[in-house]
Structure 1
Amino acid sequence: MPISNTTNQALFLLIIANLLASFSDVSLKVLNGEVPTFQYVFIRQLLSVLLLLPFWLKLPTARRMQGGCRINFLRAQFILMGSGCAMIAITHLTLATANAMFYVGPILMLPLSVVLLKEKPNSTKIIATLIGFIGVLIVLRPEQFHWAAIAGLGSALAMGVGNILIKRLPDDQHIIATLFWTGLMTLPLALALALPQWADIEWRHVGWIMAINLFVLGYHALVVMAYKKAPANQIALAEYSGLVFVTLFGVMWFDEIPDLLTLLGIGLIVIPIMPIQWRKWLPAKQRQTVKE
């Protein structure tokens, strides 16, 4: 079945979205930990709220209040912690390794669903999860282990939980209201965590943080547009283009050349969770055997 023009447009939008997300990671890498972690998070979220405020004010009154709910508040706190952990991981790890950790989120969700939701995953999901964990062990092998990898895993877990909570939000909730309230609800805790280590920073730091904000907001906007144009199972594979981008940028701009074992580990993390119908890749006779 040929891919429609609408699906191609959605794929293009999703790839551009992940390119923007990769530029966000590069900008964070350039900051190089010069801004204390939660001071960075607070400034970033404050700038995000200020950027969104004019658009939020243009919404009808009823729409403005969407997102100011308990579920979104809980989600905001996970995003806060995930953002802090992501900064630590990107600062101290290579871009490729840090992003490989971020992709562990879907893998971590399976054991959590068993423990917290009493779900019973099928054997395919269990095998895929085990392969993913083997990939994590290869990427984080003892001789190259860095404590920041724990932060990367923490970011993956926090973002994964945050994404699950999206499903608990009303379907008709406006994206601007969601983003505005999420940012606003992170500010109190972010400020409380930032104050003990608050430091003087330069305007160039603020500039990079603003760039990160614009890249992230652009990413979210394009992702929403992409998934409205085509079903998720037809385009979700393009989400993994981000890992390719950050690996290339790490080589080009930071001299971060991954070794073969790291590439193997990244492959074992990513491939099992890719939304590919693997049987289409098999010859007809093999597909029939699989079906039987």
Structure 2
Amino acid sequence: MKLSAVSLGILLLVFGNLSASLSDVAVKLLNGEVHPFQYMFLRQILSLVIILPLWLSQAKPKRAVGSWKINTIRAYLVLAGSSMLLVALTYLPLATANALFYAAPLLMIPLSMLLLGENPSKSKVIATAVGFIGILIVLRPTQFHWAAIAALGTATTLALYNVLVRKLPESQSVATTLFWTCVLSLPVATPLAWYFWQPISMENLGLIAASALFTLGYQGCVVMAYRQSETHQIGLAEYSGLIFVAIFGWVWFNESLDALTLFGILLIILPMMPKPRRKHLTPMNP
């Protein structure tokens, strides 16, 4: 059965967020041993190495940058978000940091209205509000840390990064989009990394490479997903990653989930359920 554009977009975002969650695990395993600017530079270089063969395999017209302005803005958003993400994941539990990262879909609703002229339905706004309540429950004041500010900064850059996908030419391929994002970030990332450079182990280099690979997977899925459907129709699927990080945090870092955290995650996930499924779960009237 052929999937609708919305269903395909949601599926792509779920796979993308699984990839992003694995990237977060790799970053957390760095344990703060790599400077944020150094991490930012190395990840972009490694991403460029991975994506270059795909970019070169295309016909020359397909390699064009498309929109210098939008691609440059998105490149700088990646740099800012990457450095703040490293700080947040170093000092916060995996699930707590990601609960704040997933404020991004909340921010995408007003941003899509402002930048794209989209008009989300009342049900989408209500579902987003329910998800926000879930995020607050997962976070809780007792778990608040100054690094939460960095996590919120990451969420803001991620929301803008995703919304601006729809400003890119429709004919521009995923490989070309990711290639130019990497290239256009290097003029800023290179001098910052050079100034703060410090020795790095092969283990940490491998973790950065894994982060780069999984991040490319996320970015590729995002580009394809937000070209399938409007932001407000599928943006809630971004919350699926919170399920993955909760599991990974428990498996890799022994981060336990209490009943209140699970309830918060449930509030985040429920609004993503397709309408037919929600109707099926509703008891029928006698």
One fold, TM greater than 0.5? yes
Q: CA 1:112 to 1:17, structure 2 compared with 1: closer, same or farther past 3 Å?
A: closer
How far is the alpha carbon of 1:20 from its aligned partner? 3.1
Matching of residue 92 in structure 1 with residue 96 in structure 2: no
How far is the alpha carbon of 1:162 from its aligned partner? 0.8
**CA distance in 2 between partners of 1:113 and 1:222 (Å):** 19
Aligned to 2:159: 160
**CA distance in 2 between partners of 1:6 and 1:114 (Å):** 26
Give me the CA root mean square deviation.
Answer: 3.7
Aligned to 2:262: 263
How far is the alpha carbon of 1:221 from its aligned partner? 4.6
Find the structure with the greater CA-based Rg: 1
Unpaired segments ≥5 residues, structure 1:
287-292
SS in 2 for 1:167: helix
| Aligned partner letter, 1:282 | T
How far is the alpha carbon of 1:143 from its aligned partner? 2.1
| Aligned partner letter, 2:96 | T
How far is the alpha carbon of 1:72 from its aligned partner? 1.0
How far is the alpha carbon of 1:254 from its aligned partner? 0.6
How far is the alpha carbon of 1:34 from its aligned partner? 0.7
SS in 1 for 2:167: coil
How far is the alpha carbon of 1:198 from its aligned partner? 2.1
How far is the alpha carbon of 1:168 from its aligned partner? 0.5
Structure 1 window deviating more from structure 2 (194-203 vs 70-79): it is 194-203
Matching of residue 282 in structure 1 with residue 285 in structure 2: no
Q: CA 1:231 to 1:158, structure 2 compared with 1: closer, same or farther past 3 Å?
A: closer
Aligned to 1:289: none
Q: Does structure 2 retain, via aligned residues, the 8 Å contact 1:42–1:190?
A: yes
Aligned to 2:68: 69
Aligned 1:17-56 pairs, distance under 5 A: 17-56=16-55
How far is the alpha carbon of 1:160 from its aligned partner? 0.7
Unpaired segments ≥5 residues, structure 2:
none
Aligned 1:135-214 pairs, distance under 5 A: 135-214=134-213
Q: CA 1:280 to 1:171, structure 2 compared with 1: closer, same or farther past 3 Å?
A: farther
**CA distance in 1 between partners of 2:126 and 2:20 (Å):** 30
| Aligned partner letter, 1:215 | F
Q: Does structure 2 retain, via aligned residues, the 8 Å contact 1:11–1:226?
A: yes
When normalised by structure 1's length, the TM-score is 0.80
**CA distance in 2 between partners of 1:45 and 1:124 (Å):** 38
How far is the alpha carbon of 1:246 from its aligned partner? 1.7
How far is the alpha carbon of 1:113 from its aligned partner? 5.9
**CA distance in 2 between partners of 1:76 and 1:178 (Å):** 10
How far is the alpha carbon of 1:44 from its aligned partner? 0.3
Q: Does structure 2 retain, via aligned residues, the 8 Å contact 1:67–1:182?
A: no
Q: CA 1:22 to 1:142, structure 2 compared with 1: closer, same or farther past 3 Å?
A: closer
Q: Does structure 1 retain, via aligned residues, the 8 Å contact 2:130–2:268?
A: yes
Count the aligned residue pairs: 282
Structure 1 window deviating more from structure 2 (82-91 vs 51-60): it is 51-60
**CA distance in 1 between partners of 2:9 and 2:127 (Å):** 27
Q: CA 1:229 to 1:160, structure 2 compared with 1: closer, same or farther past 3 Å?
A: closer
Q: Does structure 2 retain, via aligned residues, the 8 Å contact 1:103–1:270?
A: no
Between the aligned residues of both structures, percent identity stands at: 49
Q: Does structure 2 retain, via aligned residues, the 8 Å contact 1:71–1:169?
A: yes
